[in-house]
């Protein structure tokens, strides 16, 4: 069973967007608290420290209005997880859509993919982040139609 804190943290992770260099970045607790408090469509204000307490599990019984305001914020984001008050408080944890195991198996069966993965595993986290950024650029270049010279 996922806790309220675990579900809320999964929403923060799901709401991550690419920054200027293509790295995924979650919205900060401060940004979310400020956006909720500045929303003129309701009178709920949430402090950064209260939202932090919800995220770390030290606060476990928020008001319905606080839950509704949090849900409203995440509904305005591009999310893959279900976003509703019931999804936040239900016993079943929200699940990300899983890629079929066959796709993973096929990709990992390729010798070049194995070689890349093994070499990447020996890199520092910072270098792996740079490698992912390079791979994102390469993926984008395949999507962008190239003009004939």
What digits encode the pLDDT tens for the residues 52-64? 999 999 999 999 9
Taking 80 as the threshold, does the pLDDT of residue 23 lie above it? yes
Token match 């305001």: residue?
Answer: 69
The kind and range of the H/E element at 99 are none
Domains of the chain: 4-89 (1.10.260.40), 101-143 (no CATH)
The pLDDT of 110-130, averaged and rounded, is 83
pTM for this one? 0.60
Taking 90 as the threshold, does the pLDDT of residue 12 lie above it? yes
Q: Show the DSSP H helices in the chain as ranges.
A: 4-14, 29-38, 48-56, 64-75, 85-89, 101-109, 111-121, 125-143
The pLDDT of 105-116, averaged and rounded, is 81
Taking 60 as the threshold, does the pLDDT of residue 96 lie above it? no
């Amino acid at each position: 069973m996922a806790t309220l804190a675990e579900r809320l943290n999964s929403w923060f992770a799901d709401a991550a967007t690419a920054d200027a260099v293509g790295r995924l970045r979650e919205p900060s607790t401060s940004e979310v608290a400020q956006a909720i408090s500045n929303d003129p469509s309701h009178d709920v204000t949430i402090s950064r420290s209260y939202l932090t307490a919800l995220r770390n599990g030290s606060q476990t019984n928020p008001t319905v209005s606080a839950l509704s305001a949090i849900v409203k914020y995440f509904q305005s984001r591009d999310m893959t997880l279900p976003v509703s008050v019931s999804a936040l408080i239900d016993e079943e944890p929200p699940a990300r859509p899983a890629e079929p195991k066959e796709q993973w198996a096929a990709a990992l069966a390729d010798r070049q993919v194995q070689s890349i993965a093994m070499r990447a595993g020996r890199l520092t986290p910072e270098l792996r982040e740079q490698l992912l950024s390079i791979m994102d650029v390469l993926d984008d270049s395949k999507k962008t139609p190239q003009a004939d010279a």
